[in-house]
Amino acid sequence: MTLAILCSGQGRQHRDMFALTGDAPEAASLFAHAATLLGGRDPREIVRSESVEAIHHNRIGQILCTLQALAAASVLRDRMPDRLIVAGYSVGEVAAWGVAGLMSTTDTLDLVARRAEAMDAATLHGDGMVFVRGLPRDAIDRLCERHDAAVAIVNPGDAFILGGSRATLRALADEAKAMNAARVVDVPVEVASHTSRLAKASTEFRDQLSHFAVAVLPATGIRLLSGIDAAPVIDVKTGLDKLAAQISQTVQWADCLQACMESEATVFLELGPGRALSEMVAGAYRGVPARSLDDFRTLDGVRAWLAAHLELQF
């Protein structure tokens, strides 16, 4: 049996996102380190007390989402099988490198903070993203060409995240609705991630990556996927190049999920926050067990579900 671990991106932060991981002793040092990146404030207190808008600010959001993935992995590590596929959605790809063991967890948090800072510095005021479902790719490409936007993420089922300026995205959204798109909604982020508008951030982040210790190869049995082409990371230098390029290139998430299936993933667990990735799996691959940490009330519930579906004896 092979478990696919999915590390979530931004957009689904909420006040209870650390309900299962916040008090876990295995994750205590991670929460303490994250606090040093958040002005000394406890991230658990931040999500409980700050507004929804505040916890979706780019830097805070990236740190919170990465912290959740790393904390969840640290708590569940002893329940994971030897064969593991790890993939991350947007900022979740940085978390995936930490979950896969190629970077230390504290370095992963430090890097994601620097990633966010590089993106903020390169971002034009008023940039953002919009989600469009239900139009074919050629229609999406024509919309982007007319409205100076770009495809940022390709999801299963004709679902796309598009990036650009909010002003042009509003016009694009109106046209997509007129074309009978099934769903068109703003994405609660402040940057046009995964588009050429952030080329400078890719360059800056690649330089930052060169200053951190990274394992030479993934551990035996662990397959880590690159977001821009769904290829497994075999050569770490090439993988780091892709990790930096991902900031300003389209994320092929539908291909990543297909690569998980082709690598014989039998169970998918999303580390959260949110359920977006596990719901994509359920929609694209009927009958494949796929859950998010947010689906469970207790860690024991997560462990029992993993044991049942992976047929492991603990």
* First and final C-alpha spacing in the chain: 14
CB 185 within 8 A of CB 162: no
The verdict on 162 and 53 lying in the same domain is no
The verdict on 50 and 99 lying in the same domain is yes
For residue range 102-155, list pLDDT tens digits in order: 999 999 999 999 999 999 999 999 999 999 999 999 999 999 999 999 999 999
Amino acid 292 reads S
Strand 127-133 versus strand 183-187 pairing type: antiparallel
User: Of 32, 48, 64, 46, which is closest to residue 274 (Cα–Cα)?
Assistant: 64
Number of structural domains found in the chain = 2
Write the CA distances from 81 to 78, 181, 268, 309, 314, integer angstroms: 8, 41, 12, 11, 10
The verdict on 203 and 76 lying in the same domain is yes
The span from the CA of 59 to the CA of 250, in Å, is 20
For residue range 70-105, list pLDDT tens digits in order: 999 999 998 899 899 999 999 999 999 999 999 999
Give me the CATH number covering residue 252. 3.40.366.10
The verdict on 175 and 296 lying in the same domain is no
Q: Which two tokens stand for residue 109?
A: 């948090």
Please say which residue of 158, 187, 216 terminates a domain.
Answer: 187
The verdict on 202 and 162 lying in the same domain is no
Query: What pLDDT is stored for residue 1 in this prediction?
Result: 73
Please say which residue of 162, 187, 212 terminates a domain.
Answer: 187
Domain range for 30:
3-122+196-310
For the chain, the average pLDDT equals: 96
Amino acid 84 reads L
For residue 25, is the peptide bond before it cis, meaning its omega torsion is within 30 degrees of 0? no
Q: How far is CA 286 from the centre of its chain?
A: 22
The verdict on 172 and 45 lying in the same domain is no
The verdict on 109 and 254 lying in the same domain is yes
In the sheet that holds 290-292, the strands lie side by side as 222-224, 84-88, 3-7, 267-270, 290-292
Instruction: Say what the pTM is.
Output: 0.96
The verdict on 143 and 249 lying in the same domain is no
The verdict on 146 and 216 lying in the same domain is no
For residue range 257-310, list pLDDT tens digits in order: 999 999 999 999 999 999 999 999 999 999 999 999 999 999 999 999 999 998
- For the cut 70, the answer to whether the pLDDT of residue 15 exceeds it is yes
The verdict on 131 and 110 lying in the same domain is no
CB 233 within 8 A of CB 93: no
The span from the CA of 221 to the CA of 174, in Å, is 47
The verdict on 168 and 237 lying in the same domain is no
Please say which residue of 165, 187, 209 terminates a domain.
Answer: 187
Q: Could you please report the per-residue DSSP string of 111-150? A: HHHHHHHHHHHHPPTTEEEEEEESS-HHHHHHHHHHHT-E
The verdict on 24 and 114 lying in the same domain is yes
